[in-house]
Amino acid sequence: MKVEKYLLRIIEREGAAHLSLIDPAKQSPEVAGRMASSVAEGGSDGIMVGGSTGAGGELLDETVLAIKDAVDLPVILFPASELCISGHADAIFFMSMLNSADPYYITGAQRLGAPRVKEFGLEAIPMAYLVVEPGGAAGRVGKANLIPRDEPELAASYALAAQYLGMRFIYLEAGSGAEAPVPVEMVRAVRRAVDSTLLVGGGIRTPEAAAERVEAGADIVVTGTLVEEVKNRAERIRGIVRAIKSGRGASRRRCKRSP
Ligand code: 1GP
């Protein structure tokens, strides 16, 4: 089954999905494989591989292969540039940072990477990447005109533009390790504006924070820093997964999407 369809099916049946982010630059492929096993044990629905450091080449290939050896979950590339593409992954978030000040991050890297995506036969999932304050490394590297935390309607306008441009997924990113995740009010404003599949990530560390954002309309919660924690990794992920799949979010999505 295609990865996009797999994710949509989980969202429809379980109310929301959880993705774990592994940055290939932060550990050996072998350790990445072990991390993947414990997030799978915690109930994560898939693994995103990438990071602002832009690891590519052999390290990326070996990391993807180690993860695929360790778990039966889809591996989705989350590339910082055209150099971060591996033919061993199952899919790629083919993303454009719509609020970047640098055209390279909007269409430049995409132009350079597209032929490789085709050559590898990767499933490309079109995604708008919107970076919200504080933005972290993603905001700095991508030269983002950060969306202020108190301007939910600005995020909603970008999201609507993304939908009209044909992007089926929209990622609201506060930056890895952000002190506070994307505000709930902003998630709600974006959900009101679009029907797209909505991802939220950056600074989500607790089941409550994750569940609040799903209740506000997020379809997919992404956690990265939590995955890097050595202690109780599976339990911490399990707490988040349970919270997003059992709350009001679950019934909300089921009601909205059932025929
Ligand atoms: C970063 O949104 C992701 O792109 C994950 O953020 O590391 O804070 O979970 P965290």
Length of the chain: 259
Question: Cα separation of 214 and 206, whole Å?
Answer: 13
Query: Which residues form the pocket of ligand 1, taking CB atoms under 6 Å from any ligand atom?
Result: 21, 138, 173, 176-178, 201-204, 222-226
As a whole number, mean pLDDT of residues 161-183 equals: 98
| For the CA of 200, the nearest atom of ligand 1 | 2
**What percentage of the chain reaches a pLDDT higher than 90?**
90
Q: What percent of the chain has pLDDT over 70?
A: 95
Query: Which residue's alpha carbon is nearest to atom 4 within ligand 1?
Result: 176
CA distance 12 to 33: 29
- From the CA of 37, how far away is ligand 1's center (Å)? 19
* Confidence (pTM): 0.95
pLDDT digits (tens, 9 = 90+) for 108-138: 999 999 999 999 999 999 999 999 999 999 9
Sign, CA dihedral 47-219-166-130, equals negative
Q: Give residue 192 CA to ligand 1 midpoint distance, Å.
A: 24
Q: Ligand 1 center to residue 259 CA distance, Å? A: 34
Token duo for residue 154: 């600005």
Domains of the chain (ranges, CATH numbers): 3-249 (3.20.20.390)
Integer-rounded Cα radius of gyration of the chain:
17
- Which atom of ligand 1 lies at the shortest distance from residue 226's CA? 9
